[in-house]
Structure formats: structure tokens, C-alpha cells
Amino acid sequence: MCGRTACTLAPDEVSRACTYRNRGGQRRQPRWKDGDADKYRPSYNKSPQSNSPVLLSQRHFDQSAPVDECVLASMQWGLVPNWFKENDPKKMQYSTNNCRSETILEKKTYKDPLLKGQRCVILADGFYEWRRQGKDKQPFFIYFPQSTGVGAKQETEDESQSSDTETEAEWTGWRLLTMAGLFDCWTSPGGGERLYTYTVITVNASSNLEGIHDRMPAILDGEEEVRKWLDFGEIKSLDALKLLQSKNILTYHPVSSLVNNSRNNTAECLQPVCLDRKKEPVPTASSKMMMSWLKGGSPQKRKDIVETGKEQIKDKSETEAKRAGLIDQWLHGTSKKPKQRLYGAERAAGLFQLRQAAVQ
């Protein structure tokens, strides 16, 4: 369970999306661990053994840092325990991509990191899950519902000159999924670079997801739960485990079977499909308008395109608009391969305008 995710934000956007308050109530923007921003690659289709952005306490890397100071790191999916004796971590005989919350204290692989306070938060746009339908499996993309205010806030000149660890700028772009996890640090017996890896903790599926699968990632809902999970100095291990509950807070939509193959890393992996017609939606006026907007020139021209598009998408039903959400508006008909920056502030702002138009 939870064997595929997507994270399409660029490194700087991930940092902005993870702004938090420390114990003193100050707003902080986590830095990337040295060199890790370059190791992370945005992707529509992340599989185990790939690197994902992970949020954790800076104290794990700097003993003098406050325990409530957070840092971003790029870690490999699939926990390799520090006591593993082989020279190649790929020789592990069992999967550590997921860890069941119910048995976390029964297995040394997970118990040791937990008791050492090696708790982390795995960040993603959302995750994929498959529902069995006879001999076939239908994939779904599952994520936090997005507020009507989504649309990345433009940085002012003053904000761009402020410290990269503390900022008053509020992130209003895509709300990243925050999944509870454990991490460990392994070094080959023969020496070499340290390898940081993680596992996603799972719980029983919530009532709205159990029709897809019986398990789901342990979701940390909101800044306070994230803070408690990461603050291993204040919140002890057994108390932290109480945060791992099934939460009926996620939404989802069906996607194409393209995602079944991890080598497929295009926008179509996230694009909603219509199960009733057993085929992917054909390009619409709104999707063509979106592509024109992405290629567009001046902000005024993009604004004009959005306004014109309102008339073109009025016939889209409210139910379909809510089901598809922002992703439908963004990805409908696109086929671009992911880049280091898959969408920026202007593009996210456009998504918000399009979404407003779609539900009017």
C-alpha cells in the first residue's frame, strides 16, 4: 500500500509550501539540507527507490540546532536500517516501503528509528492507489482537498530580499500531502557516502477510501500535527504514535492506467478519466485554452484568455468540476514531461482563476 506518489513542485516551492511556526510562534521557512535541493527531482510518478522531499528536525544533522527547527532533505524511498551488513542495500530481502502502525514496535527495522526519534514527514502532491476490479486494477490519485483560495502568491520585492529561513509570505499554492514516516541513515560496511532512506507509516483506510484499498498512509492534518510528529524532544515516541489515526479528510479521482508503469512520467498520470465511458476525456475548449495560457505572453493576455474561457466552460457540470478539481483544470490534455520547475507562481495563480471559472 502506498507504492506510488507524485510531487511536482520545484525545490523552492516545496520550501515555501512547508512554512511553519516554531515553539515561539515565529514563521519559518525550512532550508534544504546542503546539496539536497539538487538531488530532488519533481515527478508525476514517484516509485520506491526514488528520492522524495522529506521534512524533519534540523537537530538530526546539527546537535546545536533547536529541536523544533525544521529542514528539508531528499531521501530514498524504502528504509535501509543502519545495521544492514551487506555492501548493496538492494540486497535486502524484504520491502520497507511501508510500515504498519500497529506493528511498528514489533520489528527492529522500525522500532529502533522510532525510539531514537527519527520521525519525518514525507511530502507529496498526493499518492496513487489501485482498486481491484475483477482481474483488472483501477488507479486513483488521492490528495488533500484544495481550498478555493489556491493560487501561489506572488513574491513582493521586499519578500524576495528577506531571510530564507523566516518569511511573512503566505503560501497559497497547492497544499502538499503530509504523511508520517520514519527514516534511517545507512553506510556501507566498506565505507562511502551516507544513505538516508524512509518508510511511509500506514493505518487502516478511512471510510471514504476503504472502497479503494484497506490501507492508507498515516496523514498528519495541519501544522500542529506536523509539529508534534517532528518535535521528538517534546513529544515522546509513544505519544507521537497517537497521532497515527485513520482520517476521513482526503479526496480522489480515477486516473489512467499509464501510472501503472513507473517509467511513464507525464502529466497524463494525474489527469482524471471518466470511468463510465472507459476512456480518457478528449481535449475540450477549456483544455485548449489552458495550453494557450501556459504558452501565453503578457499577464494581460493571460487574463484575457481566462475571461474568454469562462464562456467556454459554463456547460461543465458542477459535479464534474468538483470531482476533477484543480488537477483537471491544470492537466486536461497536457502532455509535457516534468521539468525541474513543473509550475510556478504565475501558473498556480492561473489555476485558481480557471477553477473559479469552472464552478461558476
Q: Which residues are catalytic?
A: 2, 129
Copy the grid coordinates of residue 173: 499554492
Number of Cβ within 10 Å of residue 347's Cβ equals 18
Instruction: Provide the 8-state DSSP code for 8.
Output: -
Question: What are the angstrom distances between the C-alpha of 308 and each of 229, 298, 312, 328, 348?
Answer: 46, 16, 7, 19, 19
Q: For every residue of 94-157, which 3-state class applies, written as one string?
A: CCCCEEEHHHCCCCHHHHHHHHCCCEEEEEECEEEEEEEECCEEEEEEEECCCCCCCCCCCCCH
In sequence order, the β-bridge partners of residue 183 are 198
What's the rounded Cα separation, in Å, for the pair 256 and 45?
A: 12
Amino acid identity at 283 = P
Distance CA 141, CA 31 (A): 29
**Cα angle at 73 between 69 and 79, to 5 degrees?**
115
